[in-house]
Amino acid sequence: MLIKIFNKILNMRYNSPPSLKNTVPFLLFFILSISSFAQNIPWSRQMADSFIARHKDSILVGKNTVTRWDYEQGLMLKAIEKVWYRTGEGKYYEYIRNDINQYVKEDGSIRSYKFDEFNIDNIPTGRALLTLYQQTQPDKEKYKKAADLLWKQLEEQPRTKEGGYWHKKRYPNQMWLDGLFMGEPFAAEYSALFNHPEHFDDIAKQFALIEKYAVDPKTGLIYHAYDEAREQKWADKKTGTSPNFWGRAIGWYAVALVDVLDYFPENHPKRADLIKYLQRLAPVLAKYQDKQSGVWYQVMDQGARKGNYFESSASCMFVYALAKASRLGYIPATYTANAKRGYEGILKNFIEKEADGSISLNKTVSVGGLGGTPYRDGSYDYYLSEPIRKNDLKGVGPFIFASVEMEIAAENAVGKDKKVALDYYFNHEFRKGANGKDEPFHYTWEDRMHSGFWLWGNTFRDLGAQTVSIPSAPTAENLKGMNVYIIVDPDTKKETANPNFIQPNDIAAIEKWVKAGGVLMLMANDTANCEIPHFNQLAKVFGIEFTSRNRNMVQGLQFEQGRLDIPANDKSIFKTASKIYIKELSPLALTGPAKSGLTDHGDIIFGISKYGKGTVFAVGDPWLYNEYLDGRRIDTSFENFEAGKDLAEWLLKQVVK
List residues with catalytic annotation.
178
Return the SS3 of 571.
coil
Nearest Cα residue to 55 out of 70, 40, 75, 76: 76
Return the SS3 of 533.
helix
In Å, what is the CA distance from 281 to each residue of 64, 140, 424? 33, 39, 39
Distance CA(262)–CA(56), nearest Å, equals 31
* Sequence letter at residue 470: I
* Sequence letter at residue 364: T
Distance CA(427)–CA(440), nearest Å, equals 9
β-partners of residue 360 are 352
Return the SS3 of 243.
coil
Q: Are strands 614-619 and 388-389 parallel, antiparallel or unpaired?
A: unpaired
CB 506 within 8 A of CB 568: no
Distance CA(298)–CA(380), nearest Å, equals 10
Distance CA(283)–CA(326), nearest Å, equals 12
DSSP assigned state of 580: E
Distance CA(573)–CA(564), nearest Å, equals 15
CB 264 within 8 A of CB 274: yes
Q: Is the peptide bond before 42 cis (omega within 30 degrees of 0)?
A: no
Distance CA(555)–CA(211), nearest Å, equals 59
Q: Are strands 563-565 and 225-227 parallel, antiparallel or unpaired?
A: unpaired
Buried b (16+ CB within 10 A) or exposed e, 620-631: bbbbbbbbbbbb
CB 164 within 8 A of CB 225: no
